[in-house]
Amino acid sequence: MNHDSTTLGQLAPQRRLRRLELTITRRLDGLLHGQHLGLLPGPGSEPAGSREYRAGEDEVRRMDWSVTARTAVPHVRTVDADRELTTWTLVDATPSMDFGTAELEKRELAVAAVATVGFLTAGTGNRLGAHLLGDAGVRRFPARTGRHHLISLLRTLMEVPRGRPATQPVALADGIDGLRRAAGRRGLAVVVSDFLDGLPDEGLAGADGAPPQWEAPLRRLAARHQVLAVEVRDPRELELPDVGLITLVDPESGRRREVATGSRRLRERYAAAAAAQRLAVARALRRSGAAHLPLSTDRDWIADIVRHVHAQRRLSRATRKPNGGAA
């Protein structure tokens, strides 16, 4: 377990920010310094490979005609990140993120994810902008450079009021669309959320059910930018403990419901529905073209990020090899 992260929730905001920065730079900066490719590969000027063309989303001028002719399937070129990088983040700070039964709350884990992206993409000319999706609408931060800007953004995320229902709720789908409109220049887009908003009531297994409301906006965002979807979850969202009669409160609406957790059949049904829900989210993220990074409040989030980076780098190297052969 990452002992640096276990005490974040008990620290004052300023000390918490300093602990986050030290944790990230000590454990990740040496691994990723100067290499955006892997964590957040983005559009730029250097060829990196190709992928299948998506009608209505990809620009025809990016067509890779040699691969298209060889495979008889339309492909578009993908490219590496430019030297100067613009990263946009959409951070879900709605009441559903005020939950946590392990070392961190989901909100704190979301802040850690944004901090990781910010510190690792910091550099000369690189800019970071953010949209904060809260209980009273969307708060926007323009894309700027510098550590002071990043620290100010992280402090704002930590100080979002907790424990009150949304007064002016904005759907995650609308938040993603707003980010797409703001991020004009090609770059990187990071969406940090539990992705519980906008899910269909039926078809949670994701096979034939209706797609989440945020899938189409995320697909449109991925048509122009490289997108990383950071899914924040808590183990108690996946299974119920046997603790007798409990009162559950919907953090978004404040509605309450008593649940008898002593029922084994109820716990099994809950676990099955939660697993189907997570599968539906994963499939929707994959269909949208976003890279998927799940983080859990009971896991070493730094280690999970490192594993994601290694997987992305292996994928990138594989796509660079012509016809699957050696580079």
Q: Taking the domains of the chain in order of start, what are their residue ranges?
A: 83-298
Q: What gap in Å lies between CA 199 and CA 214, rounded to an integer?
A: 8
Q: What gap in Å lies between CA 170 and CA 175, rounded to an integer?
A: 7
Position 48 scores a pLDDT of 52
**Does residue 187 sit in helix, strand or coil?**
coil
**Does residue 226 sit in helix, strand or coil?**
strand
**How far lies 58's CA from each of 66, 219, 321, in Å?**
17, 11, 23
Position 327 scores a pLDDT of 37
Is residue 122 within 8 Å of 32, Cβ to Cβ? no
pTM: 0.77
**Does residue 307 sit in helix, strand or coil?**
helix
Is residue 21 within 8 Å of 147, Cβ to Cβ? no
- List b or e across 200-224, with b for residues whose CB sees 16 or more CB atoms inside 10 angstroms: eeeebebeebebbbbbbbbbbbbbb
| Percent composition of the chain: helix, strand, coil (DSSP 3-state, to 5) | 45, 20, 40
The 3 state secondary structure assigned to 121-184 is CCCCCCEEEEEEEECCEEEEEEEECCHHHHHHHHHHHHCCCCCCCCCCCCCHHHHHHHHHHHCC
Tell me which residue of 200, 220, 187 sits closest to 287, measured CA to CA: 220
**Each residue's pLDDT expressed in tens, for the chain with a length of 327 residues:** 444 444 455 556 678 888 888 888 788 765 554 444 455 544 444 445 677 887 766 667 678 888 888 888 888 876 544 457 889 999 999 888 888 888 888 999 999 999 998 887 877 678 999 999 987 789 999 999 988 899 999 988 888 877 666 667 789 999 999 999 998 888 899 999 999 988 876 544 444 568 999 999 999 999 989 899 999 999 988 888 888 888 877 766 677 888 888 889 999 999 999 999 999 999 999 999 999 999 999 999 998 988 888 777 777 666 555 554 443
Number of neighbours of residue 149 by Cβ within 10 angstroms: 19
Dihedral (Cα; 56, 57, 59, 60), 10-degree rounding? -40
Q: What gap in Å lies between CA 65 and CA 203, rounded to an integer?
A: 39
Is residue 13 within 8 Å of 158, Cβ to Cβ? yes
Phi, psi of 284 (to 5 degrees): -65, -40
Condensed to tens digits (0 to 9), the pLDDT of residues 119-154 reads 878 776 789 999 999 877 899 999 999 888 999 999
Phi, psi of 295 (to 5 degrees): -125, 140
| Helix axis angle, 215-224 to 264-288, nearest 10° | 30
Position 325 scores a pLDDT of 44
Identify the CATH homologous superfamily for domain 83-298: von Willebrand factor, type A domain (3.40.50.410)
